[in-house]
Structure 1
């Protein structure tokens, strides 16, 4: 079920990166607006209630304020929604297009470096923690390995150029790397060290801080657009994410 007041949505994940295999799911991500009146009641959309998670097919939708907060924090998964190739967008409203137009306002040099390095390091931790025995586990580790290398490459490009590439140039490189580290997760450590050296070797084009004023202005436009609950395409019902967890 698609959430009400959907502003922007698209296909993300392995399909977007060009790394999808026969067993890969199609992942969708979106941003929606809760009617402004919902924030004045007993159960304003916040935390888990501001995110709707669905399965079969897999989809995640964040309320506009939560999406903006995650993007300001450099969250790679949510940030990529603003950089998709045009053919991967499934919903683009005027406010969704405005969000894409201000995508650089969410960026900062330190935030980008910390976020992408942090996520890549978490992929390595997952590989080490899951072990390397069952075939299913090796497949999962290979996926973590692919995404570790992708995060390092994407993060560096965004840090150095201010542009986030979504589709990888050489998918086989990531597949081979993932397979190698599935057999020996320690092989990922040199990749992390090399990436750190690359970050150190350049001066980022990104600002020291995100442009929060521009983000705030967009969010206030969203709130004005949905100020009257009768203008939304349905009645707000809090709590869909907690029902699905």
Structure 2
């Protein structure tokens, strides 16, 4: 971690990425994601922790920690990566405080139907564009391209599950399916197009259980509880 004091303010912290999905290989990094609460007084000065200043990133190991307000904003925007911290299996959490549990308890409040579809399906389309625009990687880059392929398919599957059921499955059911798909995409990026078309048809075939708009009032109430809990009595 880059900032020891930050550890005292962690609300949620856990292992995400390939380890969480069940897609990690022998050389895979272990990624961690967290949510922290900045002291409330920090928002009263000239340089409150907003934007880039509200995120702490470390590469030893790979770790990203967002301040509570920024994390909530990203989740309300449907960010697939940040959203994961609210849906991890219990054993993947390394820090889980009462306020973190409250955030998990209102995880559905961050969701809306159109935003979920646009975020997951849109992110997968951007992954495909990267693959096609890049073209054939050199052999030493094939591993990276296969990884992009695996995560494209995962985004499509997870996004549809969340859209259709209101639940986000983190660990994939059949890891080999994603591995095989990644290898096929590494050989020919255009091989991803049918999966994208199939996913679009699946989205079109169901009526989402998610609301038209997120419950911003519930999220705001949680954030205010965080601010009260981290208000310096002095």
Structure 2 gaps, min length 5: none
Deviation at 1:132, TM superposition (A): 1.8
Selected match of 1:32 from 24, 36, 48:
36
Q: Deviations over 1:4-54 (max 9, x none)?
A: 401101000000000001111000000000001110101100110000000
**For residues 42 and 182 of structure 1, what CA distance do their matches in structure 2 show?**
48
Q: Is residue 207 of structure 1 aligned with residue 208 of structure 2? A: no
* 3-state SS, counterpart of residue 127 of structure 2: helix
**For residues 131 and 26 of structure 2, what CA distance do their matches in structure 1 show?**
22
Selected match of 2:96 from 92, 99, 115:
92
**For residues 229 and 68 of structure 1, what CA distance do their matches in structure 2 show?**
25
TM-score by length of 1: 0.92
**For residues 128 and 157 of structure 2, what CA distance do their matches in structure 1 show?**
15
Q: Which residue of 1 aligns with 2:68?
A: 64
Q: How does 1:115-126 map to 2 (within 5 A)?
A: 115-126=119-130
Selected match of 1:186 from 178, 187, 190:
190
User: Which structure's relative contact order is higher, taking Cα pairs within 8 Å and 6+ residues apart?
Assistant: 1
Q: Is residue 47 of structure 1 aligned with residue 63 of structure 2? A: no
Runs of 4+ in 1 over 6 A off after TM superposition: none
Count of residue pairs the alignment pairs up: 230
**For residues 34 and 127 of structure 1, what CA distance do their matches in structure 2 show?**
38
Question: Do the aligned partners of 1:37 and 1:229 also contact (CA within 8 Å) in 2?
Answer: no
**For residues 64 and 137 of structure 2, what CA distance do their matches in structure 1 show?**
31
Q: Which residue of 2 aligns with 1:17?
A: 21
CA RMSD of aligned residues (A): 1.1
Structure 1 gaps, min length 5: 231-245
TM-score by length of 2: 0.96
